[in-house]
Structure 1
Amino acid sequence: MNYRALSALLAFILIVSPGAHTPKAIAQNQDEVLVDIGGKSVEKDELVYLLSKGKGASGTVTGVSREEFEENFQLFVNYKLKVREAESLGLDKTEEFNREFASFKETLIAPYLIKNSLEEGELRKAYSRMEEILRASHILFQFPPNASNEDSLIVLKMALKVKGEIENGGDINELALQYSDDPSAKTNKGDLGYFTSLQMVQPFEDAAFSLPLGKVSDPVLTNFGYHLIQVKDRQKNPGQVRVSHILVRFDPQNAGQEENARRKISDIYAEIQKENTIWEDIVKSYSEDPATKENGGILPWFGVGTMIPEFEMAAFSLTELGEVSPPLKTQYGYHILRLEDKKPLDSYEEMEESIRSRILRDSRSTMIQSQVVAIQKARYGFKENETSVDNLAAALNESAKSTFGGVLESKGLTSAELFTLQGKTYKASDLWKYMQEEEFVPRSKGGTFDIWYGRYIASILSQTEQMDLEANNKEYQMLLKEYRDGILLFSLMNQEVWQKGITDSLGQVEFYRKNISNYQWKNRVEAYLVKVLDLSKIDIGRKALQGNGFNPSVIQAFETNFKSTASLAFTTESGIFEYESHPILSKADLGLSYQEISVDGTTYLINLGQKLPAEPRKFEESRGLVIRDYQEFLDKSLTDKLKEKYPVKVNQNVKEEAFIALNQ
């Protein structure tokens, strides 16, 4: 069963959208007990929660009528009866249930976790930044290989010196030529062109988006070194553009080649200006981009910061669809661009998953996880035994995972304390047990103890947060319990009603015989109906059908003929129909074997055959209806049986409180 199936089931059972409550029993308050079902209490809040969700999902006005309340209350009781039976049958103890519930639980808990709110904040911040584009220049000061602290300090002092030169009137682009360790500075003088959020490493982005225009930043540390950044321009994000292009290549080291390419692109541009020239033909004849020359030169959609700056600026400067740019030079050659389409920045909702994917792939994911752990530590009273942890790190960081346990025992460190959390002490032996159970291959550099200890802390804190939610968050408790009960309900219904209704052929036949009055044909007639879609072809139909009545060979001949000569002129329908309720045949004269009638402005040619009186349907003719009705019968029988098995005691006072709560 999947999420969608469970959602549909709960909506059907209680006219609500999917929701919840915990696997643990929520502490029962007798003043809140709405109904006792076979000795198990159900609180008022569960009914109020479910009906409130259903009300919100349907968009109805606040409040529920007495009639609606009573109807839904009975559906609720029937629902809880079935859950009670599923528990009695042990369906909540099966491997399938545990696997499925664990899968749902992992999805359901996500919105309640600290991590979710932090991720949401980063997503919103990233999208907010995407609404504008920056143009910035930078100077990079790289560290030497295997840099010491002293080396790093020297690099920082150099960055501060150059910052002073800029603040005293120096030009960052000229100074980039002199000082920058970024290889591209030789050609772009440190000008990065326009960019937006998630296109630079996080520290660089954070600094750039916080800078006023023209102000030079303090040295910004990234994995590349120290950067000085100056923002030259800010604009609203123009969204995305799609262009087609013509490319003429040349070797940058060959001046003669470049001159020939420049002349060729000029000639092409002149050709494009002539009337009646076809862009696609020009592209196919002259473009030297093999990936696009056969499809009119069309490139994929792109936004700011994804193409080389000069190409990008030329593309976004085009304003009218079909507008052609003058020739421009890039590192790839000479181009002519034509604007194919433009569109604004997508909405947050459209970009949310893409932004999430990009954030979780860069350094922000590590930052978010660090923040999560810090909040969890503060919330749940994490206290580390720093001395013990330092000793363990010194003893175990050089050990491989395979020898970790042996070293731990040989040095008598298995009982060494790591930390306490909510009054419980965790020891080195607990860490070793965790390491044995986890299939994890460290990818980051560091000592064995440090890597596994950090991972272990995160795991324990995550479990603690989940247990805290189950114990103290009423909304999550409700949500979890509803899904738990929904899975049990689905399993019981599938076992006792749905599959049985489909596979119990003897039961189907017996049910059919006892209820044969429900499976009756009304008066019927053999009929061939031809709907005329093209009146200019109506004579074809008349000639073929007139005077023949319901004749299978005539019908077959007509079908064969019109499909080959007038396939769009007619649609046809053939069979035995209950004519009294039929939208076309109810208006026909059953005494005529052939007739033409008009219904709602459409002409029909009709051939009629034998009339058949009302009579019982055969079982084979009614099988689909019988299965449906048999399943409804099994469902009602199950509910009636459960009401006898599990006495239902309703607290009328609490029931009235539930009604009042829903109408406040």
Structure 2
Amino acid sequence: MKRNLGLCIGFLFVTTIFLGQQKKDVLLTIDGDPVYASEFTRVYQKNLDLVQDESQKSVEGYLDLFIDYKLKVKEAYEQDLDEKKEYQKEFKKYQEQLSRYYIYEDNVTKDLAKEAYERGLEEIEASHILVTSSYADVPEDTLKAYTKIKNIRDRALAGEDFEKLAKETSEEPNADKTGGNLGYFSVFSLVYPFETEAYNTKVGEVSNIVRTRFGYHIIKVHDRRERSTQRTVSHIMISDREDDTRTFDPEERINDIYKLLQQGQTFEDLAKQYSEDKGSAGNGGRLRPFRKGEIKAKVFEDKVFAIKTPGTYTEPFKSVVGWHIARLDSIHGKSSFEDEKAEYERRVKDGSRSKIVVAAVANTIKDKYGFEEGAPYLDYFEDFIGEDLVKKRWEYTPVPEEDDKVIFTIGDRKHYFSDYAEYIREFQRVMRNFGSVRDALLYFYDMFEAESAKQYYKDKLEEEDPEYAGVITEYRDGLLIFDLMQTNIWNKAKKDTVAAKAYYEANKEQYQWKKRVGAVVVNSTNAVSAQKAKQMLENGETVEAIKKQLNTPETVNVIISEGKFEEGAKELPAGFRMEQGIFETKDQDGRYTIVKVNQVLPPTTKEYEDVRGRVMTALQQQLEEDFMDNLRNKYNVEVRKKTLKKLKRKLDK
């Protein structure tokens, strides 16, 4: 179904009301630089509920926190942290996200997502014929390709067999064998223009000519059918990552769990107890619903979609992340757009439709602020860069000053050949493959122009919209403060092991083990096996001996952990006494736990390596206090008492 995006584009921008500039009240100065009362008010009202100390909830009490905050920002600029590439990259990422609300980029995305949802209710079976043509082709070659596909279409419309035509004329690889048959496909499977033409063509008919980055196509639609629905699946996963603290073999553990399933234990209980997929274990292993083709784990998908009956589970199998047992919970009916909106919007942003969103927004910005093309660039850059660009190994060379012409102008901002060259250098390694240098240059130019237009709008937005300016300033300051603290406090604490060990020695009493036991913990749902395990523990049998006698290749009766356990550890059952001997318990779910305590360890001081992280945290706090004392001495802060008094009357209520 075609959808009219023009209506959405018409509402891309928030109308900005320009108010006369009012004189701002200066609350304080830092070395003469003003800080305004409006900024304090915004930060104070936003963060007041987060303040723990009651004495700091008044205007005067909070002012000390605010001054420290501004001192950190001041110091960050003094250290040129705003010039760091990592900071600039992170800031632009947030600026991009925030500005979408103001330029209504998400509205275009939603419109395309709704279109994709409606198309995705069907699958199409089709064949196509391709005549290759690049967007970088000269007009003569483009006309030649178009004329060829038009003649082929005329023959198809006249009744010639489409498969035979494809084998004879299509320039798609292997078309002489496949006849151009694509099988069944749905949304997001093929490039967007092709998909659109296919969905707009009736069964049995030949489409209009459609152009994509591959060339000119015609499509014959053979069939349409309802698309398969979503499935809900649960799984138990045991990671096969290498971990020095792990005391079991992952394959052995998943096989033991599988045997427990066959013995009647519930899938949900086993997932909660043993699954190492933190995102699903708490839900009994349940994953979000998905269709075939929507997850990247092919082995997992193949296993799951091979199950025909809900409630059936697989045998243990291995994927790239570890070992699984998967169960089909349900096969869904049709879901609404609202149910799947988030996923469809994500796929719009990640796929070929993203260019439509970018182009729509860029064109509206160009109309708003004005756009003027500059000097022709294509021939120059084709010579300047050469074939290395297609191979993704172009070594950047600055554009000579005498060649550095204006490539285009947006509003009052000019962009030069040198800016375009910088853009290519930054993104060449993540570009898709191109058949020619001209193809690549055209692609990069479109992206460079669109990104430049959006950046211009975002910069202007900060001038024009006070609300946006406040939010973006707060984020900018937050990033700078993070970099400041990382550079001057956190990294310093991590590297200064001498200071850390000295702090540990001076504060050993803060780092104590609770009472611990060296113990063997046996879990079982079988009373007889639990009693046998208890007897074997009493007789001094080893863990391996107990497992060998009580577990068989077909049945797991006990799962055993061995090590040192601190008081309150999750492995120890409720009511456990930290005493030498054997402790036995049964919980409400019918699970037996036998604990043999071989050793009781009294509270002791932890070694430095055991508490290194906590020591680092405490050392960081001390370094931060010293750092802030230095900043307060370094900068001259003057508070305007008259402005402060006005704020107290307004905010202290």
TM-score, structure 1 normalization: 0.51
Post-superposition offset of 1:656: 6.8
Partner of 2:395: none
Q: Structure 2 vs 1, CA of residues 583 and 359 (structure 1 numbering), >3 Å: closer, same or farther?
A: closer
In structure 2, which of residues 67, 83, 91 is the aligned counterpart of residue 105 of structure 1?
Answer: 91
State how 1:350-499 maps to structure 2 within 5 Å: 350=343, 353-359=346-352, 365=355, 370-384=359-373, 401-402=383-384, 421-423=410-412, 430-431=416-417, 461=453, 463-472=455-464, 474=466, 477-478=469-470, 480-499=472-491
Deviations 1:280-334 (A, max 9, x none): xxxxxxxxxxxxxxxxxxxxx8579xxxxxxxxxxx9x98789xxxxxxxxxxxx
Q: Structure 2 vs 1, CA of residues 653 and 571 (structure 1 numbering), >3 Å: closer, same or farther?
A: same
What amino acid maps onto 2:96 in structure 1? A
Post-superposition offset of 1:631: 2.9
Looking at structure 1, the residues matched to 620 and 368 of structure 2 have their Cα atoms a distance apart, in angstroms, of 51
Q: Structure 2 vs 1, CA of residues 659 and 562 (structure 1 numbering), >3 Å: closer, same or farther?
A: farther
Q: Structure 2 vs 1, CA of residues 344 and 47 (structure 1 numbering), >3 Å: closer, same or farther?
A: farther
Mapped contact 2:520–2:595 kept (Cα < 8 A): yes
Q: Structure 2 vs 1, CA of residues 584 and 644 (structure 1 numbering), >3 Å: closer, same or farther?
A: farther
Looking at structure 2, the residues matched to 521 and 303 of structure 1 have their Cα atoms a distance apart, in angstroms, of 51
Mapped contact 1:520–1:617 kept (Cα < 8 A): yes
Q: Structure 2 vs 1, CA of residues 220 and 632 (structure 1 numbering), >3 Å: closer, same or farther?
A: same
Mapped contact 1:130–1:237 kept (Cα < 8 A): no
Post-superposition offset of 1:471: 3.7
Residue identity over aligned pairs, in percent, reads 19
Mapped contact 1:139–1:176 kept (Cα < 8 A): no
Partner of 1:175: 159
Deviations 1:83-105 (A, max 9, x none): 333334x1526xxx611112213
Post-superposition offset of 1:636: 3.2
Deviations 1:68-126 (A, max 9, x none): 955977655443333333334x1526xxx611112213422333366954872575155
Post-superposition offset of 1:146: 6.7
Structure 1: state its 5+ residue gaps.
Answer: 1-26, 163-171, 242-300, 305-315, 323-338, 405-412, 545-556
State how 1:255-654 maps to structure 2 within 5 Å: 347-350=340-343, 353-359=346-352, 365=355, 370-384=359-373, 401-402=383-384, 421-423=410-412, 430-431=416-417, 461=453, 463-472=455-464, 474=466, 477-478=469-470, 480-504=472-496, 507-508=499-500, 511=503, 518=510, 528-529=518-519, 531=521, 533=523, 534-544=530-540, 568=558, 571=561, 587=577, 604-606=595-597, 625-646=614-635, 647=637, 649=639, 651=644, 653-654=646-647
Q: How many matched pairs?
A: 485
- Give secondary structure in 2 for the equivalent of 1:359: coil
- Give secondary structure in 2 for the equivalent of 1:175: coil
TM-score, structure 2 normalization: 0.52
Looking at structure 2, the residues matched to 372 and 119 of structure 1 have their Cα atoms a distance apart, in angstroms, of 9
Looking at structure 1, the residues matched to 132 and 485 of structure 2 have their Cα atoms a distance apart, in angstroms, of 67
Looking at structure 2, the residues matched to 153 and 401 of structure 1 have their Cα atoms a distance apart, in angstroms, of 31
- Give secondary structure in 1 for the equivalent of 2:161: helix
| 1:81 and 2:71 matched | yes
Looking at structure 1, the residues matched to 110 and 220 of structure 2 have their Cα atoms a distance apart, in angstroms, of 25
Partner of 1:298: none
Looking at structure 1, the residues matched to 373 and 581 of structure 2 have their Cα atoms a distance apart, in angstroms, of 94
Looking at structure 1, the residues matched to 447 and 72 of structure 2 have their Cα atoms a distance apart, in angstroms, of 42
Looking at structure 1, the residues matched to 152 and 226 of structure 2 have their Cα atoms a distance apart, in angstroms, of 35
What amino acid maps onto 2:625 in structure 1? K
Deviations 1:542-597 (A, max 9, x none): 344xxxxxxxxxxxx8678767767947655559989xxx99999568xxx76768
Post-superposition offset of 1:30: 6.5
Post-superposition offset of 1:530: 5.1
Looking at structure 1, the residues matched to 73 and 155 of structure 2 have their Cα atoms a distance apart, in angstroms, of 74
Looking at structure 1, the residues matched to 383 and 26 of structure 2 have their Cα atoms a distance apart, in angstroms, of 53
Higher RCO (C-alpha under 8 Å, 6+ residues apart): 1
Q: Structure 2 vs 1, CA of residues 357 and 527 (structure 1 numbering), >3 Å: closer, same or farther?
A: closer
What amino acid maps onto 1:629 in structure 2? A
Post-superposition offset of 1:382: 1.7
Mapped contact 2:125–2:183 kept (Cα < 8 A): yes
What amino acid maps onto 2:531 in structure 1? L
What amino acid maps onto 1:237 in structure 2? R
| 1:133 and 2:122 matched | yes
Post-superposition offset of 1:383: 3.8
Computed over aligned residues only, the root mean square deviation of the Cα atoms, in angstroms, reads 6.6
Q: Structure 2 vs 1, CA of residues 42 and 576 (structure 1 numbering), >3 Å: closer, same or farther?
A: same
Post-superposition offset of 1:515: 5.3
Q: Structure 2 vs 1, CA of residues 471 and 504 (structure 1 numbering), >3 Å: closer, same or farther?
A: same
Deviations 1:217-268 (A, max 9, x none): 98444466685878975x5432479xxxxxxxxxxxxxxxxxxxxxxxxxxx
Looking at structure 1, the residues matched to 198 and 634 of structure 2 have their Cα atoms a distance apart, in angstroms, of 70
Worse overlay, 640-649 or 221-230: 221-230
Looking at structure 2, the residues matched to 107 and 237 of structure 1 have their Cα atoms a distance apart, in angstroms, of 37
Q: Quick check: which has more Rg, 1 or 2?
A: 1
Structure 2: state its 5+ residue gaps.
Answer: 1-19, 134-138, 170-175, 232-290, 295-304, 312-327, 387-401, 524-529, 552-557
- Give secondary structure in 1 for the equivalent of 2:81: helix
- Give secondary structure in 1 for the equivalent of 2:84: helix
Mapped contact 1:397–1:449 kept (Cα < 8 A): no
What amino acid maps onto 2:459 in structure 1? M
Post-superposition offset of 1:359: 1.1
Deviations 1:171-190 (A, max 9, x none): x8x93539994449999999
Mapped contact 1:204–1:220 kept (Cα < 8 A): no
